[in-house]
Amino acid sequence: MYAIECKNLTHYYGKKLVYENLSFNVEEGKILGLLGKNGTGKSTTINILNGFLQPFSGECLIYGQNTQTLSPETKRRIGFLIEGHIQYSFMNIHQIEKFYSGFYPDWNSAPYWELMSKLKVTPKQKISTMSCGQRSQVALGLILAQDPDLLILDDFSMGLDPGYRRLFIDYMREYAKAEHKTVFVTSHIIQDMERLIDDVMIMDYNKILAQQPVEQFMNTFRQFNITLTSPEQEVDLDGIAVNIEKVKDKIEFYTYSTEDEVKNYLASKGIDYSSFEERKMSLEDAFIGLTRKY
C-alpha cells in the first residue's frame, strides 16, 4: 500500500514550467529520498504534499486523501520538519516538550527523551544555549513524539555538523524501521541520504530521471573511463551513454549498460582505446553523473 500517490502533477510559477505530468508513489514503511539540483521542484513537491500549494493540474494523495482536502484525522498522521526547526528558544527542553504535548492526543514522549539523552543535555538546558545541531535534534524529537505515520523532512541536514548529521541519520533510520514509519526526505548533502534511504527519486528540470531502490540504482548505473588510442578519432556513444565528458583522449561516461555491453558497443563503432576502467561510485557521484555537473 502507498502512503503517498502523486499522479500527473503539473505546476507553473507564472509562465515557468516546474514539471509536467509528474507521477510517483511512496510505499508504506519505506524511506524515500528526493534528490535534485536547485530549481528542479523539490520544495514545490514538498509544499504540494503538505497542502500548502495547489498544483496547476494532477493530484497528490496521502493515505488515499487529496492533500488539498486532508481530514484532521489524516493530518494527525503526518509529521513535518521544515527549515528553521523550532521556535520558543526561551524555553528549556523540558518546557518545550510539555508545551507541544498539549496539542497532540497521542503524544509519546519516549522518542524525544531518548534523543535528548543521546545529545547529553539536561532537562533544564535552554534552547537558546544550544548549537544549531542540538536544536535540530530537539525539533526531530518533538516530531517523533507526535507519533506520526508519515514524516516529511525538508532539507533536514541544513546547518548540522558531520557528527550531528550522523546522529540524526542513524537514529532516524533505526526509529523508522522499528516503528514502521514512512519517511519522505530531501537534503542537499547526498552522502547522508545514501546512509538513510531505501528508495531514491532523482529529479531534473521538468521530469524524474530515476525512481527505484537505491541499492538497485547503484548496482545498475555505472561510470566508465576510457583512454582513446588517438584523441582525434570520432566518438559516438549516444546509443549507450547517459552523460559524456571528453577531455583530449580521456572520456568519462555514465550508462545503465554492463561492461560487456559497453565493450561490444565500442567495438561495433570502431572506437579504439588503450585503457578501460569502471569506477565505483558513491550516490553523490551517481547523482552528478545522471544530472551533469552544471
> Averaged over 159-174, what is the pLDDT?
81
Same-domain status, 140 and 249 = no
pLDDT digits (tens, 9 = 90+) for 251-294: 999 999 999 999 999 999 999 999 999 999 999 999 999 998 76
pLDDT of 33 over the 70 cut: yes
177 pLDDT band, cuts 50/70/90, is very high
The answer on 69 and 173 residing in a single domain is yes
Confirm if 20 and 172 have CB atoms less than 8 A apart: no
Same domain, 58 and 201: yes
Instruction: State the number of CA atoms in the 13 A half-sphere of 155 facing the CB.
Output: 16
Q: Are 163 and 136 within one domain?
A: yes
pLDDT higher for 221 or 106? 221
Percent of the chain with pLDDT over 90: 66
Residue 224's nearest CA partner among 268, 270, 284, 285 is 285
How many other CB atoms are there within 10 angstroms of residue 272's CB atom? Answer: 12
Q: Cell triple for residue 32?
A: 524515500
Residues 201 and 128 occupy one common structural domain:
yes
Which CATH number does the domain housing residue 269 bear?
3.30.70
Instruction: Tell whether the model's pLDDT for residue 246 goes beyond 70.
Output: yes
- Residue 147: band (very low, low, confident or very high) from pLDDT cuts 50, 70, 90: very high
pLDDT tier at 115, thresholds 50, 70, 90: confident
Residue 158: pLDDT band with limits 50, 70, 90:
low
Same domain membership, residue 151 and residue 26:
yes
pLDDT for the residue 113: 94
Distances (CA, A) of 87 to 78, 100, 142, 268, 290: 20, 11, 12, 63, 38
Same domain, 282 and 146: no
Contact by Cβ (8 Å): 242, 256: yes
Q: What is the pTM of this model?
A: 0.90
Q: What is the pLDDT of residues 77-88, one digit of tens each?
A: 999 987 656 678
Give the H/E segment covering residue 131: none
Domain count, the chain: 2
- Does the pLDDT value for residue 209 go beyond 80? yes
User: According to the model, what pLDDT value does residue 134 have?
Assistant: 80
Alpha carbon distance 165, 62 (integer Å): 28
Q: C-alpha distances in angstroms, 198 versus 26, 59, 71, 268?
A: 11, 24, 28, 38
Are residues 196 and 62 both part of a single domain? yes
Query: How do 2-13 and 57-62 pair as beta strands?
Result: antiparallel
Q: Are residues 140 and 191 in the same domain?
A: yes
Domain boundary among 199, 216, 233: 216
Domain that holds residue 249: 222-291
Same domain, 175 and 196: yes
Residue 241's alpha-carbon distances to 70, 215, 216, 252, in angstroms, are 43, 21, 18, 10
Q: Mark which of 216, 245, 263 sits at the end of a domain.
A: 216
Note the pLDDT of residue 187. 83
- Does the structure show a pLDDT above 90 at 38? no
**CATH number of domain containing 151:** 3.40.50.300
Residue 76 has pLDDT above 80, yes or no: yes
Instruction: Judge if 128 and 155 occupy the same domain.
Output: yes
- Give residue 72's pLDDT band: very low, low, confident or very high (50, 70, 90): very high
Model pLDDT, residue 256: 97
The residue out of 167, 197, 216 marking a domain boundary is 216
Which CA distances in Å does 216 have to 183, 212, 293?
Answer: 19, 7, 23
Helices (H), 146-239: 162-179, 190-196, 214-220
Same domain (yes/no): 73, 163: yes
Question: Does 218 score more than 80 pLDDT?
Answer: yes
